[in-house]
Chain A
Amino acid sequence: MNLNEKARSLLTRNQHLLTSVCLSAFLLLVAAFRAPQLFSSSGIGSAIIVLAPLVLASLAVTPIVLAGRGGVDLSVGPLLGFLNVTLVAWLVEYGYSSPTYVIVYLVGIGVLYQIIIATIIIYVRVSPIIVTLSAYLVLTGVNLVILDRPSGVAPEWMFDWGNGATVFSPVFFVLCGMIVLWAIFSRTAFYQQILLTGGEERMAFASGVNTVGARFGAHAVAGVYTAMAALCYTALIGSGDPTQGSTYTLSAITAVVLGGTSLAGGRGGGLGSILGSICIYLISYVLATFNFGTVSGFVTQMSTGVVLVMSLLVNSAISRPAGETK
């Protein structure tokens, strides 16, 4: 009985994961038939290095979305790009490329940037979408000023990170480390406060939650994860690129939504974002095994869009009855 209750509570708590779990299982099944090489050592290794920046970027967006008030970070992609180009054009260029320098720099700038954004959102009270959209545009321009074309090289110690011929690459350990960190983070009282702030801000405030602190904290965590996404991205392309970072904004937000996190805040979690990212990767992987020829790029986009809408429908269908019975 007790066990049954526990299982039920686990199920209710993780209801939002339903679509992403089912979808990724389905896609893995299709991949097993269409492209079994995905499950080889190099197939998984490649998947990890390509997926790592997306997973980390989607984890960066997650706490901001969870903290509610329509918070969503549109600038995550260009920030990732900014960290990538400055790492290549400044740190490597001037010889400050030891792992310590690089990680301190990335995390420092990532967190600093997010604190500035959070300050504008919280104290100037401009809508997060507007603030982060402006930041998106500013950073897109700044990135091109810093590096006018794809060039430069990643720090030397990172050279073989992007090879991905085996599962246990350095990127794998970075990714695992960051996921473990997320698991710890999501068990803290602070994480609960973010959820509460996002779900019922007034109630949270009334029950003594420091809602401003929770928001700042959510942004700081986002800064750390964006920094690590930038690290993995730099390893993936082994160089600097002023425009490609921006493509991560849409993918990361799509992953968050696919993972069942509500854009209204308060509901969802990191596991969903990870699964969402995996789904995005698998959609493109599975579709590439069909020879759609010239239109395959559009087929991928269309399929991702359709899957996204369906998952939103399913999510709202399963969460509504629960709300009504209250």
Chain B
Amino acid sequence: MKALLTICAVAVVALFTTMLARAEVLQELPPDIQKAYEGLDPKTPVGASMLSDFKPKKGPPWTIGFASSYAGNTWRAAAMDRLMNVLVPEAKEAGLVKDIVITQSDLKDAVQIQQIRQLVDQGVDIIILCCSNPTALNQSIKYAYDKGVPVISYDGFVTAPEALSVTPNFVDGGYQIAKSVIEKMGGKGNLLYVSGIAGLNTSDSFDTGALKAIAEHPDIKLIGTVQGNWTDQIAQVEVQKFLATHPETVDGIVLQSPSEIGVIQALLQSGRPVPPISLQGEFGAACYWKEHPEIADVGFYLYPPASEIYFGWNAALRVLQGQGPKIQTIARQVMKYTLEENNSQLPEDCKIDDQRWLEPKAEDWFPNSLANQVFARPSDPLTWKPQN
């Protein structure tokens, strides 16, 4: 009985200390950086990073593993283009990276689990993941950590305590984006919501934020929700189906990108006016905005593909350099862009079927001011020199 009590007491104390430690790391960050964590998905780990004292076994130069989950849309293509044509060459030139090994799991978690383990056994120095299932890979991330291979998840978090996640705040992003459309609508009218992929974490987080904004405005009537599957063609068909069966006016559309140009085309085909709509950087939709400035006041970068992979890549190099992340998740807020900035990135004769993406400056997406706060021994990865 006594032993049981002691165990209980120890457990309680341990629980409190971890809770305190968890709260402390976040509270030590400057208030403006803490803001990015507000409303973040409650399962996102924000405790002290287990990689704070990590040192690689060897190198530089390092071999990087990229266990990608999918490669079949414009978003992934834009990210891969930045990785292979800019990030890897410049890191090779700086003598930091020897090779990159990329695997694709075609959205099958079991295959991604196999590939993570395979990359570890193959001897890569670090593994980068993109926007994966937040819980399914945890055992494999632990497997990698136990063998001295850290895992960085970008554009979405994983709940494994061993990993470092770098992610935009999707909940707050969904909220801000929906709110801007609602304000443009004058706070009243019929709203259509084009969601992402049901059952995927980032999509659900965005939903949470968007629905919160809608709930705050009682005069907004949510007349329908369709799944755009983050694919223009699917969003187009789904919105067409919706419009065919709903004769009422649509006064505003909140959507998860990429789908904006599909939605705009569905409206044009059905002869409806394009109401206020949310924009997240698809070139085609940006081009439409240039010609029709009345559809939005502002655009949002929530997960610009090339900047997101820069974020993950930059963090991975810093971890390899032993810069010591302080916290398990580095979060950042949604970033607004104006119509002028939109137009300045577009070519003169832009087309609405252009597959590229608007991007913020990479340095703005993961600025040194943020990196200097979340890493214990910060230094620019490309000019960093190994000590001793």
Contacts and interface: CB of A to CB of B under 8 A. Distances in A.
B2 to A, nearest CB: 25
A296 B102 contact: yes
A239 B80 contact: no
B84 to A, nearest CB: 7
Contacts of A151: 43, 134-135
A45 to B, nearest CB: 9
B105 interface: yes
A165 B71 contact: no
A284 B146 CA distance: 24
B106 A237 contact: no
Nearest to A242: B199
Contacts of A119: none
B236 interface: no
B139 A50 contact: no
A295 B71 contact: yes
Q: How large is the interface on B (under 10, 10 to 19, 20 to 34, 35 or more residues)?
A: 35 or more
Contacts of B143: 42, 46, 163-165
A81 B345 CA distance: 45
A2 interface: no
A294 B133 contact: no
Contacts of A284: 111, 114-115
Contacts of B351: none
Given A148-B204, A151-B43, A297-B106, A244 B121 contact: no
A316 interface: no
B133 A244 contact: yes
B113 interface: yes
Contact of B136 (A46, A47, A244): A244
A291 B122 contact: no
Contacts of A297: 70-72, 104-106
Contacts of A241: 109, 133, 135-136, 199
A243 interface: yes
A40 interface: yes
A143 B134 CA distance: 18
A294 B80 contact: yes
B135 A285 contact: no
Contact of A150 (B80, B108, B136): B136
A288 B118 contact: yes
B102 A294 contact: yes
A319 interface: no
A281 interface: yes
A209 interface: no
B110 A236 contact: yes
Interface in A117-175: 143-144, 147-153, 162-165
Contacts of B103: 288, 296
Nearest to B43: A151
A53 interface: yes
A35 B118 contact: yes
A149 B111 contact: no
Nearest to B104: A297
A54 interface: yes
Contacts of A163: 139, 142-143
Given A241-B133, A297-B104, A149 B114 contact: no
A293 interface: yes
Contacts of A288: 103, 114-115, 118
A50 B71 contact: no
A99 to B, nearest CB: 19
B113 A50 contact: yes
Interface of B: 43, 68, 70-72, 76-77, 80, 84, 101-111, 113-115, 117-118, 121-122, 133-140, 142-143, 146, 198-201, 203-204
Given A43-B121, A292-B104, A294-B77, 8 more contacts: A151-B43, A151-B135, A233-B110, A237-B113, A284-B114, A289-B122, A294-B76, A297-B105
Give the 8 A-B CB pairs with smallest separation, nearest first. Answer: A297-B104, A239-B135, A237-B136, A162-B139, A37-B121, A297-B106, A46-B117, A243-B199
